[in-house]
Amino acid sequence: MNIFKNIQKAEVSPYLFSSIQQKIKNKKDEEVTVKWAWTAIASICLILVVDLAVLAMPKQNPLPQNDSFSLMPNNTLYYE
């Protein structure tokens, strides 16, 4: 087990910190893009749901045309 004593400590590359900073920045940008994508998807879904709700709403029976225009159901002009 003494063989492990031969392993020396290695030094980190001086450029590693800037790589890490770049990675953090990329991740943040990616998160923003993902957020926007989800917002867009949520908006489209909301519009679809509203559209479907409007289509599925029970239609009110329109009044019979003669009622709505108060038309006489017969040809008699005068009541006797």
Partner 1 sequence: MNFEHIYDQHKDLVYNLALQYVQNIEDAEEITQDVFVSVYEKMNEFRQEAKPSTWIYRITINRCLDYIKAKKRKKRFAFISSLFGLSNQLLYDSADFNHPGILMEEQDKMKLLFKLINELSHNQKTAIILLKIEEKSQAEAAEIMNISVKALESLFQRAKNNLSKKMKDNEGFG
Q: What is the binding site for partner 1 (CB under 8 A)?
A: 1, 3-4, 6-13, 16-17, 19-20, 23-24, 27
- Residue number with CB closer to partner 1 (10 or 55): 10
User: Alpha-carbon distance 63 to 71, whole Å?
Assistant: 12
Closest approach, Cβ 27 to partner 1, in A, equals 7
User: Alpha-carbon distance 27 to 11, whole Å?
Assistant: 26
Closest approach, Cβ 46 to partner 1, in A, equals 30
- Residue number with CB closer to partner 1 (19 or 66): 19
66 within 8 A of 73, measured Cβ to Cβ: yes
Residue 22 tokens, joined = 């770049």
Q: How many CB atoms lie within 10 A of CB 52?
A: 10
- Residue number with CB closer to partner 1 (15 or 69): 15
